[in-house]
Chains A and B, each alone.
Chain A
Amino acid sequence: MTTTTNLTDDELSGPETPDARIRTLRHRRVSGWTRTQTIVRGVVLGLGAVVFLFPFYYMVVGALQKSPDPTIAGAFPNPANLTFDNFVNVNERINLVSGLVNSGIFTGGVLLCTVVFGVLVGYALAMMKWRGARATFALALLVQVIPFQLLQIPLYVLIARDYGLADTHIGMILPFAINSTAVIIFRQYFLQLPKELFEAARIDGAGEIRLLWSIALPLVRPALVTAVLLTFIGPWNEFLWPFLITKDAALQPLAVSLANYISTVAASTDNPFGAILAGATVLAAPVVVLFIVFQRYFVSNDLGSGVKG
């Protein structure tokens, strides 16, 4: 019970407030995890990580191979069989810079709209009483339930013909602008916040915007980052919609040109398998890097202190 191996999140990240430190100490004393349990947990998590990482690792190794090697040995990098040619091929056929810029505009536009408007509606749904709240929530659910294939052509007609937004970034962004899953996530996490806090602030005369900005938002930061990442993945990997709406290659995001490369051009290269995996790696790399950079924001150890203090 009192073993010193029971380090917790709080200890690792170094609690900043005295309050948190006290909790940490208390926590350690009663945490109840035995050394064996901790070790088992570490091993299971480690094995799981291998299972999760392997295909990605294989993708990178395969992308670096001169010729595909489907044997078990092929899963290990062989210096004699390594090359950057697959990436050079991708670079020759695709304008990576303009693809990245377009992906950035597309994804950035969606993120901005989702964070600003999604947080507003999520907060309204969770924290405020107004007629139509339930209907709005049902609508958010409904929008996600509907398969995109059902709406694809009517949506295309609406945006291309009626709004005249074919071959524009706005036309690309519009159907994704506010991610309904993110709205639901925001609502869910706002719901978990203690209402007493808000009542107290309301009685003190704080406006809703202020409540949202200075109380609610800081408390749901992990949810915010989760939703941002979720929202990010959608437009970043989406190729069907931008493919339909942009005929102009100069406007196409990376996913579209890479999907195009993977499905048509790669087959005519000397090493189609390597070419496909190289395309895949180029598409995945920026996301993984961004994720590694931002992942620390997922964890917020001082979350509870504000509420309980």
Chain B
Amino acid sequence: MTTVVKTPRAPAPASGGAGAPGPRAKRSLLRRILGRQPLGLLFSSPYLVFVLAVFAFPIVYSVWISFHDFFFAAPGANPARPFVGFDNYIAAFSDPQVIRSFGNVGIFLLINVPLTVVLSLLLASALNRVVHARTFLRVSYYVPYVTASVAVVAVWLFLFNGNGLVNTVLGPLAPDPSWLINDKLAMPVIAIYVTWKQLGFYILLYLAALQNLPKELYESAATDGAGAIRRFFSVTVPGVRPATLLVLLVSTVTGANLFTEPYLLTGGGGPNGASATPVLLMYQLGIQQGQPDVASAIGVVLVIGVLIIAFLQNRFVGERES
């Protein structure tokens, strides 16, 4: 069933292998030298140049910084910057706050990512079939995403602070200490906030993917007597798997780089660092406290961690290439 929906890479070599000799013979010398579809490199070259020009130096530089005793200096000053091996990594990870921040972001991802995937897929498939007021509904779900965090955070603070609307509604059931100053609840509130804020974008990703699902699949499933729920699991879920992978990857990456929300929502990672994230600590250490070397060490470990998670997600959810 799924083979109709997704056409994995398998057929592509056929185009190169079997279909290629004909056209290739007609092609110019250039094509013969560069081989099969060298245009790919040409198409990608602006992007590659961009990445090299803008990111290569800072990325390499950051890794270099993490292995040296380093601080940012004015152009004229040339301070000694000895190689210190893993000292910065040891300094970073012997600080319990740093360990805790990784734990915090772990909690965040455990709440945020599954919630994001499930809610956005459900809402997208519901929205995809909705008839009445569909512009209104779609716009509603997208509004939090388009609004700057600086702006909506003020509203959430109003909702979740000690005297806020949420506690007023809950009355005696309100948690004590209140949400954002409770070290058990601060991170979950942030996770839910971010889910809410970003969901519109993931719904769009799924909506776009659902557009590509051939209706015939649903029809044949329905003919087979499958109910709405079974069709959701047997047609929709496998059909949008590439989109699911994308949602997983993007939400994991954005989640791991969480910064703005604890910075604005809990006043710099409070209470007691219960909502501090690695990137927030990097900001404090590297930019406020003049220790970019330790901050870079945290950053390098974070990046490696996220890459491993992304690799695993790609491996287990991504397209099977056999």
**Chains A and B form a bound pair:** yes
Which residues 199-232 of B sit at the A interface, judged by CB distance below 8 A? 199-201, 204-205, 207-209, 211-212, 214-216, 218-219, 222-223, 226-228, 231
Shortest Cβ distance from B64 into A: residue: A154
Q: Is the CB of A151 within 8 A of B62?
A: yes
Min distance, Cβ B304 to any Cβ of chain A, angstroms? 9
Q: Is A42 an interface residue (CB 8 A)?
A: yes
Asked if B179 lies at the interface with its beta carbon under 8 angstroms from chain A, I say no
With a cutoff of 8 Å between Cβ atoms, the chain B residues found around residue A271 in the complex are none
| Chain B residue at minimal CB-CB distance from A273 | B154
**Stretch of B79-87, B108-116, B128-136 at the chain-chain interface:** B128-136
Tell yes or no: A270 within 8 A of B by CB: no
Given known contacts A45-B126, A145-B303, is B147 in contact with A56 (CB within 8 Å)?
yes
Query: Measured between alpha carbons, how far is A24 from B307 in the docked complex, in Å?
Result: 44
CB within 8 A of B132: which of A42, A150, A199?
A42
Chain A interface mostly helix, strand, loop or mixed? Answer: helix
Partner of A295, one of B54, B139, B242, B282: B139
Whether A55 and B152, one on each chain, are in contact in the complex, defined by CB atoms closer than 8 angstroms, is yes
B211 with A299: CB separation less than 8 A: yes
Q: Which residue of B lies closest to A287 (CB)?
A: B146
- The winner among A129, A276, A281, A291 for most chain B CB atoms within 10 A is A129
Partner of B219, one of A27, A127, A202: A27
* Chain A residue contacts of B149, Cβ below 8 A: 237
B208/A222 in contact, CB under 8 A: yes
Interface string of B154-174 (1 = CB under 8 A from A): 111011000111001100000
The answer for the CA separation of A8 and B134 in the assembled complex, in Å, is 12
A83 contacts B by Cβ under 8 Å: no
**Distance A258 CA – B149 CA, assembled complex (angstroms):** 12
Option from A33, A116, A120, A287 in Cβ contact (under 8 Å) with B147? A287
Select which of B37, B57, B156 is within 8 A of A128 by beta carbon: B37
User: What total of A-B pairs shows CB separation below 8 Å?
Assistant: 344
User: Are the C-beta atoms of A298 and B43 separated by less than 8 Å?
Assistant: no
Docked CA distance A8–B310 (Å): 37
Residues of chain A lying within 8 A (CB to CB) of residue B209? 189, 192
In the assembled complex, the Cα of A150 lies from the Cα of B66 at a distance in Å of: 11
Q: Which of B93-101, B183-191, B245-253, B265-273 contacts A (4 or more CB under 8 A)?
A: B245-253
In the complex, residue of chain A having the shortest beta-carbon distance to the beta carbon of B57? A158
- Which residue of chain A is the closest to B145 with respect to CB atoms? A233
* In the assembled complex, B148 has its CB within 8 A of some CB on chain A: yes
Assess the A144–B219 pair: CB atoms within 8 A: no
- A149 B283 Cβ-Cβ under 8 A: yes
**Is there an interface contact between A153 and B207, defined as CB atoms closer than 8 Å?**
no
Report chain A residues within 8 Å CB of B226.
Answer: 32
Q: List 23 A-B contacts (CB under 8 A).
A: A23-B215, A44-B126, A45-B137, A53-B140, A56-B143, A59-B152, A59-B155, A62-B158, A72-B168, A120-B44, A124-B39, A129-B13, A136-B44, A153-B72, A158-B54, A158-B57, A175-B54, A178-B47, A205-B23, A277-B155, A280-B152, A291-B143, A299-B207
Q: 11 more A-B contacts (CB under 8 A) besides A132-B40, A196-B7, A296-B135?
A: A55-B159, A59-B154, A117-B47, A129-B12, A130-B41, A139-B48, A147-B257, A147-B278, A154-B62, A230-B201, A303-B212
Q: 8 tightest A-B contacts by CB?
A: A280-B151, A130-B40, A128-B40, A49-B140, A124-B43, A150-B299, A154-B58, A222-B208
